Structure 1
Amino acid sequence: MRILVTGTAGFVGAALAQRLLARGEEVYGFDNHNDYYDPALKEARLAQFAGHPNYIHQRADLADAAAVDHAFATFKPQRVVNLAAQAGVRYSLQNPRAYVQSNLVGFVNILEACRHGNVEHLVYASSSSVYGANRKLPFAVEDAVDHPVSLYAASKKANELMAHTYSHLYGLPTTGLRFFTVYGPWGRPDMAPILFADRISRGEPIDVFNHGHHSRDFTYVDDIVEGVIRALDHPAEPDPAYDAEAPNPGTSNAPYRVYNIGNDQPVQLMRFIELLEQNFGRTVEKRLLPMQPGDVPDTWADVSALRRDVGYAPGTPIEQGVKKFAAWYRQYYGQR
């Protein structure tokens, strides 16, 4: 199968591309290699599979409609996974326009290309951040998500709305996956696991926001990739049980689905830090600080819909995942 994946120099995109290539798919990678974080890490991820005979790579920006159209016209993908986006909740407070270009303009370019290219199925990354100010746990796709607390979250909710219009108007099967705190080898250096690992490996104090009372549904990258592939292999279909008088936000009478993809086992942030300390063999000072703007205290994914529909079953305990992450960190960054 010909599968176009955007964001293949990114954390999840690189892991997904390798899994798809390993099972014999042809993969067309699309990534702009921006400098939001160290481009050398992106190049190192890509180097793991860039020479594969079934892999093609294009360096371009999703906001460049001509570049997107070129990729679709030359490769003619059967299915598409859109993982490229301007990520980061906190950065959206500093540079909001970057989110409009990548997450809104870029996404409509993908939708248009899928529409005109007769793509069988579009799977795209949404985010747990769409739950915003919600406090009912666990977060379920049936919940209303109308109170985002960052522009990043709003842009991801907008993606779900945009996808539904294309599913409704043009019959394009779309599946949105709300990712919950992905971690593991080759992770993003702007996220807590690497920020904490950097500090702990050097014996330096770490900043812990919300006075350490955060919990997160940390999900190991291999489990995320398995879920993405399972979703990709099950194109969205209209829900025969959909009731327009009592609508379910996760389904539709169009070929549209939205799912949570997480571990369904929230972990206290202090426990995650403790596991990192154990794996690095040292304990560091924790500077307890107030919660930051745009952040939320807790996340917890109800993944029952994804379990039911595609057999998703995350299987990496936090202890095992942190151990693998710490081993990779020491190897890649040369820290001992």
Structure 2
Amino acid sequence: ATKKAGEALLYSFHSLYKIPTTCLRFFTVYGPRGRPDMATFKFIDKIYKGLTIQQYGDGSSARDYTFVLDIVDGIMAALNKPQEFEIYNLGGSSPVKLSDYIQKIENIVGKDAIIENLENQAGDVSLTYADISKAKRELNYSPSYNIEKGLKATFEWYQAIME
């Protein structure tokens, strides 16, 4: 709700003061130097160290994970094409179920996860999906990292900082 409110506020400023504005909606960004409180870093770190990870729900929820360099490409494309007022979704456009995500991390790390199953968190949505058709059409945005390639790059970075 706060993101939509922010976009509405920006649209009002654009309308009143003719401020050129481009809003970019990011979908579950992960990768090197990512936030340590987010699932990707926490899962890699805990699986690598043999610690328990927490899985909310039955693992069927899905997120549109987006590698950070794909987000950077989208930002640069938007900067190079100023608009009066536009909103673009930047995402991987390929949602991955939580259970599959954990399994992919297990495969890359080479260890099995110890999973504590918890109830779904209140207010959590079962699916996020970025419709990037407008960004593709107008910004020539096209993510180049699939989930395996992005997780592999993230784990390589993680290993380097752990040495």
TM-score when scaled to structure 1?
0.47
Match of 2:34 among 187, 190, 203: 187
The residue matched to 1:211 in structure 2 has which SS?
coil
Q: 2-side partners of 1:281 and 1:205: how far apart?
A: 15
CA RMSD of the aligned region, Å? 1.1
Contact conserved, 2:102 with 2:113, CA < 8 A, in 1? no
Give the aligned residue type for 2:141.
Y
Contact conserved, 1:200 with 1:280, CA < 8 A, in 2? yes
Contact conserved, 2:44 with 2:105, CA < 8 A, in 1? yes
Asked if 1:302 corresponds to 2:146, the answer is no
- Number of equivalent positions: 163
Asked if 1:157 corresponds to 2:1, the answer is no
Please state how far the C-alpha of 1:268 moved relative to its aligned partner: 1.2
Asked if 1:197 corresponds to 2:44, the answer is yes
Asked if 1:318 corresponds to 2:131, the answer is no
Contact conserved, 1:210 with 1:297, CA < 8 A, in 2? no
1:15-54 matches, cutoff 5 A: none
Per the alignment, residue 103 of structure 2 pairs with: 274
Contact conserved, 1:216 with 1:298, CA < 8 A, in 2? yes
1:1-336 matches, cutoff 5 A: 154-236=1-83, 255-334=84-163
Give the aligned residue type for 1:174.
T
Please state how far the C-alpha of 1:182 moved relative to its aligned partner: 0.5
Contact conserved, 1:174 with 1:257, CA < 8 A, in 2? yes
Q: Pick the structure with greater CA Rg.
A: 1
Please state how far the C-alpha of 1:159 moved relative to its aligned partner: 1.2
Between 1 and 2, higher relative CO (CA 8 Å, sep ≥ 6) is seen in 2
TM-score when scaled to structure 2?
0.95
Please state how far the C-alpha of 1:155 moved relative to its aligned partner: 2.2
Give the aligned residue type for 2:126.
P
Q: Deviations over 1:185-211 (max 9, x none)?
A: 110011000111121011122110122
Please state how far the C-alpha of 1:333 moved relative to its aligned partner: 2.8
Give the aligned residue type for 1:205.
T
Structure 2's unaligned 5+ residue stretches are none
Q: Deviations over 1:83-115 (max 9, x none)?
A: xxxxxxxxxxxxxxxxxxxxxxxxxxxxxxxxx
Give the aligned residue type for 2:93.
D
Q: 1-side partners of 2:149 and 2:119: how far apart?
A: 30
The residue matched to 2:23 in structure 1 has which SS?
strand
Structure 1's unaligned 5+ residue stretches are 1-153, 237-254
Q: Deviations over 1:275-327 (max 9, x none)?
A: 21112111022222111123211111110001111100101111111000011
Q: Deviations over 1:118-155 (max 9, x none)?
A: xxxxxxxxxxxxxxxxxxxxxxxxxxxxxxxxxxxx22
